[in-house]
Amino acid sequence: MPPPLFTGGGGFFFAKHGEMRLRINGKETECSAATLGQLIVELKLQPESLVVEHNAQIIKQQEWGEKTLREGDTIELLNFVGGG
């Protein structure tokens, strides 16, 4: 069993190898993605109209594949929808 990790919320959890916890749109979420680009694919999101904020910084789409994720990162995903 992997070592327990402190969640920062007063508790512990056991992480599976290669998984981490992120806060995505205000909700604690486990993922195995190493980069923002991998996270978008893992969540099956359409990148064409997506804006991504990583730890209070908007990240350009061309940088998603290079932006490394770390345990406890905060991600905000905004999807713009057109209409009339």
Domain residue ranges of the chain, discontinuous segments joined by +: 4-54+61-71
Determine the Cα–Cα distance for residues 8 and 77; give it in Å rounded to an integer: 22
pLDDT at 80: 80
Q: What is the pLDDT of residues 32-47, one digit of tens each?
A: 999 999 999 999 998 9
pLDDT at 18: 67
Q: Is 5 helix (H, G, I), strand (E, B) or coil?
A: strand
